[in-house]
Amino acid sequence: MSNALTQYIGLFEQNHETVCANSAGKLNTLRDEALAQLRDAHLPDKNCEGFEKTSIDEMFSPDYGVNISRVNIPVDVAASFKCDVPSLSTLLGLVINDSFHPTSKLESKLPEGVFFGSLKRAASELPEIVNRYYGEIAPMGEASVALNTLLAQDGVLIYVPVELRFSVRCSLSISFRRLFHWPLSVVC
With cut-offs at 50, 70 and 90, classify the pLDDT of residue 174.
low
- According to the model, what pLDDT value does residue 78 have? 64
Query: Is pLDDT of 77 > 70?
Result: no
Q: Is the pLDDT of residue 184 over 60?
A: no
Q: Tell me what pLDDT residue 86 has.
A: 82
Where along the chain do its domains lie?
3-187
Q: How many CA atoms lie within 13 A of 90 on its CB side?
A: 20
* The pLDDT of residue 180: 40
